Amino acid sequence: MYHDVVSFVHELYGTEGMVPLHVPTFRGNEKKYLIECIDSTFVSSVGKFVDRFEEMMEEYTSTKKAVVCVNGTNALHMAMLLLGVEREDEVITQALTFIATCNAISYIGAHPVFIDVDRDTMGLSPDAMEAWLKENTEIKAESCYNKRNGRRIKACVPMHTFGHPVHLDKLVEVCNRYHIELIEDAAESLGSFYKGKHTGTFGKIGAISFNGNKTITTGGGGMLLFQDEALGNFAKHLTTQAKVPHRWEFVHDHIGYNYRMPNINAALGCAQLEVIDHILANKRETAEKYNQFFSGKENIHFFTEPEGSKSNYWLNAILLNDKEEQHQFLEYTNDHAVMTRPIWELMNRLPMFKDCETDGLQKTVWFADRVVNIPSSVR
């Protein structure tokens, strides 16, 4: 039934063997910088590549301060700590996300509230969020509280699904009106722009991931983006075990975290970021080829970037007609050497989060029954 899809993917990637979902590409100065890093002996959390990577990311995203972390989950955890999320608070997010988003909320002892997504972004819907807040919350002393359980709603963490930006203008406005801190989970959206501005720079803090399957990789790693330089400097201090700078003394002035990216990983990041324009151009070309191929098919819809956005097309996604067709497509393609996968299991269906509050998640469930990711590596 899906023979033509399999043939097209094999032709697109020039192989008859297994076509992976997404693998990293190393075509720049990666080996050169790694050797330089090893020769310097600075392979841990201190070294010139750490500083260079942060500075390069500040320039690329037009942000005031960038701070590297061990991974994107750490970045989200630190972002919530910095903005005052506390135990028993609630954090609004989406059920259609990778589990890292909810794990980071749980590390603090806070509770996710799952709000529906928009059809054109697959990300948190500001309209759905506003409707839920209007019905279920009240403002007291410039803080937002859930009327049913009395918990403070401190933060909102949208995730830019597969690199497609959510409707950030409206989301910022809703968060400001309800005194809710906006933290962008931009783990998947490096290289994605909303109305000409990079994702991760609309909220007070943005969090990026550099896992091996991301647009660019440091092997493992993450980064925090700040528009408040002082807050960014404080984050760098906390993620370095809150050690007071001194040539030989070990004095610490806060509970700190060992969240600093090693120099050897940052060396990879510098080389990768140098060629990000090529990577993004190649991925956009792949997405355009997919869009043309699937445009003539009634039973498969290729998901394209939302209006007003420029997506990185990190993972390309198609929509099938229903759950049965989704399963048939997954089975056929994986049986015929094309790696595909469904969207993540919805967070509210996992045992850890099954009792969390939701708004019904109608569109979220619709996507879960239809979305399939298809090969998206740089060719």
Closest CA to 340 of 16, 19, 122: 19
The Cα 119–Cα 366 span in angstroms is: 9
- Answer whether residue 116 shows pLDDT above 90: yes
Closest CA to 376 of 122, 20, 97, 98: 20
Q: How many domains does the chain have?
A: 1
State the average pLDDT over residues 181-191: 98
The Cα 79–Cα 238 span in angstroms is: 11
Question: Is residue 187 included in any domain, yes or no?
Answer: yes
Q: What is the domain-level CATH number for residue 206?
A: 3.40.640.10
Question: Is residue 249 included in any domain, yes or no?
Answer: yes
Question: Is residue 325 included in any domain, yes or no?
Answer: no
Question: Is residue 361 included in any domain, yes or no?
Answer: no
- Answer whether residue 296 shows pLDDT above 90: no
Which residues on neighbouring strands pair with residue 93, listed in sequence order?
A: 114
Q: What is the pLDDT of residue 328?
A: 97
By the 10 Å C-beta count (0-12 exposed, 13-18 middle, 19+ buried), 67 is classed as: buried
| 210-239 pLDDT per residue, tens | 999 999 999 999 999 999 999 999 999 999
Question: Is residue 355 included in any domain, yes or no?
Answer: no
Question: Is residue 96 included in any domain, yes or no?
Answer: yes
Closest CA to 126 of 198, 199, 178: 178
DSSP secondary structure code for residue 143 in this structure:
E
Which residues on neighbouring strands pair with residue 185, listed in sequence order?
A: 159, 207
| 16-73 pLDDT per residue, tens | 999 999 999 999 999 999 999 999 999 988 889 999 999 999 999 999 999 999 999 9
Element (H, E) at 377: none
Residues 166 and 158: beta-carbon distance below 8 Å? yes
State the average pLDDT over residues 238-265: 94
Question: Is residue 61 included in any domain, yes or no?
Answer: yes
Strand 316-319 versus strand 301-302 pairing type: antiparallel
Question: Is residue 13 included in any domain, yes or no?
Answer: no
The Cα 72–Cα 76 span in angstroms is: 6
- Residue-range definition of the domain harbouring residue 109: 30-275
